[in-house]
Structure 1
């Protein structure tokens, strides 16, 4: 039995990482609350995908760019949700799927370390679990866990220079998640690091040896045979094929322009109110909130710079990936889900390369010697860490749980959305009071159409006049001639959440509007025309 365990030690380690991670995320998800309203959208898309296949048209947001050229940018994620949302209640199913995919991500990160031959795999897995901004993000019922797992596998394939596999995983990534550009960015960083590394390596060789070296990449014969370039082109071509051989072609290019460029890079947060995840992450907040990965990363960089002769392409690639995602996180805090794991994996890689096995052994011997020499101090330090570390982790995870438990109840809008579905004709437009109302309303009611959702940029980019008419009405800034706004959207129903008191006062005083429904969450008015 013991020999069997030794032979399969790595598999047992990965299984243990999965079980522990599953337990952590199960506890975090053990409630009927969703911290992100988009979870309701994903649950409904999972159900629709299971019923009709790929959802190619989106009539529920007719006034937005999504109504004109929609693609399901999370298509394979929604396919992966099918067994969960079919076997269970869809909202319970997406929670279980989130737990499973998050645990799978931590396991893939551990696998990545093992495949690289790195040390202390379990320690780094626990570091990731202790990084609460990261665990919060991947506890949201969305696609990032599968996206990150795919990215890590793709990077390992790049390191292994498996060209066909990198082509296929790039194709897969496009169908999985609209954020596939991160894989292209990673391939670009891998290529640039290789170019720089090979250039400096060749420059540092004695002249007598240079004719014996492979042809340099900066001449055409050498470039044609340059494997890192071939890997990059495989990723690029895989992504291109994924955009072309795609259930949503030809809308793929329009949507990627809107989602990846206009929302992801340009972003309109200074003009309109977008989701909180798109706003900057303060530098000191980023350091303080993620100290569990930032501290080892800084330490690893110090060791690495002092042992440059031991550095490799792999180490520098991981370093620049960590820097790249950290910079993006400072621009938009949502990218912390990428920054944290790459800071940790980069630290693991650089420490492994900079500090030899002999040095680790010397450190262990030194610590043992010091422990024997200073028994009281050593015992006090050990006791301090054994007591304080679990308390700190418990405090942070408790805060994480509280944050995840302070969102939207699973039954939110259920009664009002069901009432609307029963009293409306198919396609009738609901004028709702906030753009993030849409996912919940959409989950419970696919009979009606809505004004804005998923991101207000989709409405703003399609029709700025309509956007400002809707926005000023919902904010209570427009008080007169609201009938013109309702006619602009050809709406019959006005749904107002009860925290929009100014909007409510303006709407109820508008001629031609009658209260049709009320509960503790909303008012619903019917517009019958002036």
Structure 2
């Protein structure tokens, strides 16, 4: 036999040279190219990525309104674009943010600023949102690998995996970019790309307060490496830790950043009774209905992985480590998603990526018919969740505070306090009117950290378990802003029933402003 042919035969199907050295093929790290075709674009991956990106772009750009937190992110990006970096947020008067503020999303707002400057606030923000999801889809294809038999369906599978994830990704928040960073940790650590891993960690910590979630894929990799190879993955741990530390230290107002981050992580995030539904448990039945496709894909991937010969082969430590790491990460992210709604941001992309990794070794010829069936299964979920996300987002966007904000700016003294019945109104008013100050902002947890007794009194007042007027007068607020929403309707009716205390001053179909009559 010719020596080169003998070497090729000895190399086998796993791409190993004699002595077990892994070959590094050019183009194997590029998700939209097919190494079997000498680096040419992978048509299946490109079509799937393009179709999924187009669907998401239609959803995001097809609506003119904003989700609840979007105005806040746009406002800070607009301030950055104008050369301002706020070190205090006096508009959130009775919170810790009023005296010391540091932007927990500074990197994201710095990325958003040029889009806002060039394209305008709303359009620029939505374009960046589409690009963020497109980036997440590229990372998903990279994790799956160019040999995956159903790579063209993976981007659409992610869009159809959960309506809640799709809806949350449509907002102007770094959720898709954070998910992309989470998916990148295990393959970067496994391939020894420690500098790039440190860079990803630094950017995550600089851009999003949820950067401690990087510990999930890192822990999964460490445990899998220890279980399969009896090694301690020290360098990936150091890379993530050093990168995250550099990202934290890069914040200009470090002392305020650490204070705000502590409250965000250890007070806001663990409080399920503070009115922030993002941190409430979704319920097992509701979660199962929403993420049925993601859970089904994960279950299928687990079954395929358990039957894969390489997963049981002690000599193939790399594959066993990879499967175990993604399995552990999927389990941890599932527990996180069952704990609170925000966990879906991590679970859904992890579930799809884990399923893709587990099914990567299926022979393409054996999957043509199943791939068609999978496509027929995925498409209805995409349509269903896209429709649900579109209609739900429109319901969120019904509130337009611009009319009330303009009235307040024209008819009140500068710095006059406006009592807010719902902390969720703050982002809209903050962007539209910085002439006034407001009772609280962003999350009730920041008021509780400032003054726990005041927070308890405020909570009782807005729930109408106590008369709100004494608290309103104690705070010195002369105006009350209430929105025409299910959450604000009871408080609005209370104000209307007491015209001697609250005089109607402005009202449109979205919100109303009342002037507080001073009691004797």
Task: Compute the displacement of 1:11 (Å).
Answer: 6.4
- The 5-angstrom pairing of residues 389-468 of structure 1 reads 390-391=379-380, 393-409=382-398, 412-468=400-456
Taking the aligned partners of 2:404 and 2:168, their CA distance within structure 1 comes to: 29
Query: Does the CA contact (< 8 Å) of 2:143 and 2:357 recur in 1?
Result: no
Taking the aligned partners of 1:77 and 1:159, their CA distance within structure 2 comes to: 27
Please state whether the residue corresponding to 1:431 is helix, strand or coil: strand
Specify the alignment match of 1:203 in structure 2: none
Please state whether the residue corresponding to 2:82 is helix, strand or coil: helix
Taking the aligned partners of 1:394 and 1:285, their CA distance within structure 2 comes to: 19
Specify the alignment match of 1:296 in structure 2: 297
Please state whether the residue corresponding to 2:515 is helix, strand or coil: strand
Distance of aligned partners of 1:427 and 1:439 in 2 relative to their CA distance in 1, 3 Å threshold: same
Specify the alignment match of 2:4 in structure 1: none
Task: Compute the displacement of 1:314 (Å).
Answer: 1.5
Comparing 14-23 with 421-430, which one deviates more in the overlay? 14-23
Task: Compute the displacement of 1:332 (Å).
Answer: 0.6
Please state whether the residue corresponding to 1:268 is helix, strand or coil: coil
Task: Compute the displacement of 1:388 (Å).
Answer: 7.2
The answer as to 2:252 corresponding to 1:247 is yes
In the alignment, structure 1 segments of 5+ residues that lack a partner are 200-216, 218-225, 369-380
- The 5-angstrom pairing of residues 271-420 of structure 1 reads 272-274=274-276, 276-306=277-307, 307=309, 308-310=311-313, 311-352=319-360, 355=362, 357=363, 361=365, 363=366, 390-391=379-380, 393-409=382-398, 412-420=400-408
Taking the aligned partners of 1:459 and 1:408, their CA distance within structure 2 comes to: 26
After superposition, give the CA deviation of every residue in 1:289-322 in whole Å (9 maximum; x if it has no partner). Answer: 2232222321222232344424421221111111
Taking the aligned partners of 2:82 and 2:113, their CA distance within structure 1 comes to: 9
After superposition, give the CA deviation of every residue in 1:177-227 in whole Å (9 maximum; x if it has no partner). Answer: 11111113321221122112223xxxxxxxxxxxxxxxxx5xxxxxxxx5x
Equivalenced residues, count: 475
In the alignment, structure 2 segments of 5+ residues that lack a partner are 1-33, 314-318
Comparing 324-333 with 340-349, which one deviates more in the overlay? 340-349
Distance of aligned partners of 1:529 and 1:400 in 2 relative to their CA distance in 1, 3 Å threshold: closer
Taking the aligned partners of 1:385 and 1:505, their CA distance within structure 2 comes to: 51
Task: Compute the displacement of 1:417 (Å).
Answer: 0.4
Task: Compute the displacement of 1:118 (Å).
Answer: 4.2
Distance of aligned partners of 1:124 and 1:387 in 2 relative to their CA distance in 1, 3 Å threshold: closer
Distance of aligned partners of 1:418 and 1:163 in 2 relative to their CA distance in 1, 3 Å threshold: same
The answer as to 2:106 corresponding to 1:101 is no
TM-score scaled by structure 2? 0.83
Please state whether the residue corresponding to 2:254 is helix, strand or coil: coil
Measured on the aligned residues, the alpha-carbon RMSD in Å equals 3.0
TM-score scaled by structure 1? 0.81
Specify the alignment match of 2:6 in structure 1: none
The answer as to 2:178 corresponding to 1:135 is no
